Amino acid sequence: METSFAVIFDMDGVICDTNPHHSLAWKSFLKKYEIDATEEEFIAHMYGKSNSYILKYFLKRDVIGEEFMQMEYEKEALFRQLYEPEVVPINGLLTFIDDLKVNGIKTGIATSAPVENLQLILSKLPLADKMQSLLSSADVLHHKPNPEVYLKSASNLGISPQRCLVFEDSHSGVSAGKAAGAKVIGVLSTYKKEELPVCDDYILNYEGLTFDKIKTLFDT
């Protein structure tokens, strides 16, 4: 019987509140195609979605192959340019992770974002040496809500998915964590509690969150 557990973080909206900058990047990108997207459309069709889905929705056609790679790189490079001077963690995150490490908890990041975005965040925040698993969109065949990224993360961490706690902020992300069999805490940076699938708990940020508080999720 496993006595410990592991913690896996999504990135956008969970480690950093990047979504406002993703909105700016998408708006700038879509303007080239004379598409004027509303914030309501972004909430429904951008946050937590893969780039292939987003491009298909807004361009109203499949975007694949070389064209997809070029469009994705253009939009994500625009995001990195906008966000690079602004990188800050969600309140309380670094203290919470330090508390996990003091208590011997393995941690990982599992994002649907391109690896270059992950590298940007890791270059600005002291996280890389605290993570035992780092996965981006390049590491999976199937994006969230498919559980692949969380199943692979659990494997990397050497622990069963059922002994993992996932922090997620989007419908597709929460669904992926639950489908993997993990416990999920919803981070309410992007959506309200009632807009997400049912989670094991919810937080606005990490202030006051500790190892002792989350380990009770695995005591039963």
Residues annotated as catalytic (active site), given as ranges:
10, 12
Token pair 């965040």 is found at 121
The Cα-based distances of 111 to 33, 142, 145, 204 in angstroms read: 27, 12, 12, 19
C-alpha span between 46 and 76 (Å, rounded): 13
CB atoms within 10 A of CB 111: 23
> Which token pair is 183?
């416990």
C-alpha span between 174 and 179 (Å, rounded): 8
C-alpha span between 164 and 154 (Å, rounded): 7
Q: Are 10 and 111 contacting, i.e. CB atoms less than 8 angstroms apart?
A: yes
Q: Are 13 and 19 contacting, i.e. CB atoms less than 8 angstroms apart?
A: yes
